[in-house]
Amino acid sequence: MPELSYREAVRDALATAMRQDDGVFIMGEDIAEMGGSMGVTSGMLEEFGRERVRNTPISEMALAGAAIGAALQGMRPVAEIMYEDFMTLAAEQVVNQAAKLRYMSGGQLTVPVVFRTQGGAGWSPGAQHAQQLEAWFVHIPGLKVVFASTPEDVRGLLWSAIYDDNPVVFFEHRTLYGIKGDVPEKIEPIPIGKARVHRRGEDVTVIATGRLVHESLAAAEEAEKQGVSVEVVDPRTLQPLDEETLVASVKKTNRAVVAHEAVTRMGFGAEVASVLQYQAFDWLDAPIERVGAKFSPLPFAPVMEQFVVPHMEDVLEAIMRTVGRGN
């Protein structure tokens, strides 16, 4: 099995699709010569040329709209929104157009577009460049939302997103680009809407997304040393949500922690907790714990950023609270 970084895995999915399919192309701010702000599309200009690796003006609304138009005409565009904070600028096109057109046209139109974007704390990019806004988009009927946490998942899911006939908002986490992992020789599509159980456990289920998957796996290791067996599940697709896998896990362990980097309040985790309490009510032996960022704009100062967003220790504390050993 080859080993790829998360960054290389994204690039591999894009390039492989572009090699086999003329309808797939990428567009975004500074994605050509510069290779994107995170270097994901480095080298792709040389291979695919300017027609298919398109730099756009600094207008997220315009580039999102252009991508939607291309998708309506039968292309499979992948638009990069440099920071997910800037999804707010693209929101009109994504929320009001991409998400609605198939429905409003009675199925005559399809919008097979992918909006790739990235965000997250860790490098102190400040309040306008590090948010986690997936909860905004899971709230919109008509959009699919993916948030992959490993090289294997990001490649297989991006492939499925490109070939999905519906608009997909595809979140990547900035701090994960460098992590490495084994991937299958050939790209194996990972179905949208299927969670992944990273680790089996008996006492507590941690449902985590993005960077928090890795924090949760580390917390699970630590909890194991203290005699608590932790199951870690990554939904991978936030919309549609693989409720079955999550509920089955919690019915087994009777306890749940939901962990994401985004602000806890009104977050994606609230919806997961609601699904669990309703479908596994009689199986719950402790209140569902939620781990997320404090309700604050992200501070620029590294120590403050560190304080606001959750880490392994926060997940571990939540795990321990569910088994009655917390503070």
Decide if residue 37 touches other proteins (CB under 8 A).
no
Q: State the Cα–Cα distance between residues 91 and 118, nearest whole angstrom.
A: 15
Q: Which of 129, 173, 214, 260 is catalytic?
A: 129
Residue in 178, 225, 281, 303 binding other proteins, rule: CB under 8 A: 281
DSSP letter, residue 96: I
Q: How far is the CB of 236 from other proteins (least distance, A)?
A: 23
Binding residue for other proteins, selected from 33, 46, 182, 285, defined by CB under 8 A: 285
Give yes or no for a cis peptide into 240 (omega within 30° of 0).
Answer: yes
- Does 230 sit near other proteins (CB under 8 A)? no
Q: Does 283 bind other proteins (CB under 8 A)?
A: yes
Cβ atoms of 208 and 28 within 8 Å: the answer is: no
Q: How far apart are CA 278 and CA 255, in angstroms?
A: 14
Considering only residues 287 through 326, tell me which ones interact with other proteins, judged by CB under 8 A: 321, 323-326
Which CB sits closer to other proteins, 72 or 204? 204
Q: 100 phi and psi, to 5 degrees?
A: -105, -20
Is 282 near other proteins (CB under 8 A)?
yes
229 binds other proteins per the rule CB under 8 A: yes
Does position 221 interact with other proteins (CB under 8 A)? The reply is no
Residue 2 sits in the site that holds other proteins (CB under 8 A): no
> Site size for other proteins, by CB under 8 A?
22
Rounded Cα–Cα distance for residues 128 and 281 (Å): 39
Bridge-based pairing of strands 53-55 and 24-28 is parallel
Between CA 108 and CA 115, with CA 113 as vertex, the angle to 5 degrees is 145
Q: Catalytic: 129?
A: yes
Please say which residue, 100 or 252, places its beta carbon nearer to other proteins.
Answer: 252
Q: Other CB atoms closer than 10 Å to residue 108's CB: what's the count?
A: 8
* 260 assigned to active site: no
Residues carrying an active site annotation: 60, 129
